[in-house]
Each structure stands twice: as C-alpha cells, then as structure tokens.
C-alpha cells in the first residue's frame, strides 16, 4: 500500500470520527441540558401539570392556562 492511500484513508477516518463526536455531542448535550431542568421542575411542582421548554422555562397549568412559575404566587 502506498503512503498516499494510507494518508487518504487516515484523513477520511479522522473526518468521520470528528463528525461523529460533533453530532453526538450536539444532540447528546442538548438533551442533557434540557432534561435536568425539566426533572427539577417536575419534582418541585409535582402537584401541577408541568411543562418545560428552553425558551419558556418552567411552566405549570392552572385553570387551563399555562403560567410561568415566577407568576405562580400571583394566581
């Protein structure tokens, strides 16, 4: 096997490994970062129906309306 072919195979292998780490890290990190706050929200407000999104944060359902937990005491 000549050195050019070995280098080409090595470059493709390293590229594949880098792409796999990027994709796995992006999706794995995203779900890891979202699942922990959701669990904390569900545990803290277990008597309510709870929803957690990254943009809205922790919300609970009160009188068929979604209310942010910051406004929960005002309801």
What pLDDT is attached to residue 12?
94
Mean pLDDT split into 10-residue runs, the chain, 75 residues: 85 88 66 72 89 83 89 68
- State the residue range of the domain holding 30: 3-74
Structure confidence at residue 1 (pLDDT)? 63
Please report, to the nearest 10 degrees, the dihedral formed by the alpha carbons of residues 13, 15, 18, 24 taken in order.
Answer: -90
Domain count along the chain: 1
pTM: 0.49
Dist CA 30 CA 47 (whole Å): 27
């Amino acid at each position: 096997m000549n050195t050019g072919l070995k280098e080409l195979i090595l470059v493709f292998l390293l590229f594949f490994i880098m792409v796999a780490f990027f994709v796995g890290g992006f999706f794995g990190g995203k779900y890891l970062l979202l699942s922990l706050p959701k669990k904390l929200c569900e545990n803290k407000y277990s008597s309510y129906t709870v929803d957690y999104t990254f943009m809205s944060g922790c919300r609970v359902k009160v009188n068929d309306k979604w209310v942010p937990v910051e406004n929960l005491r005002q309801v």
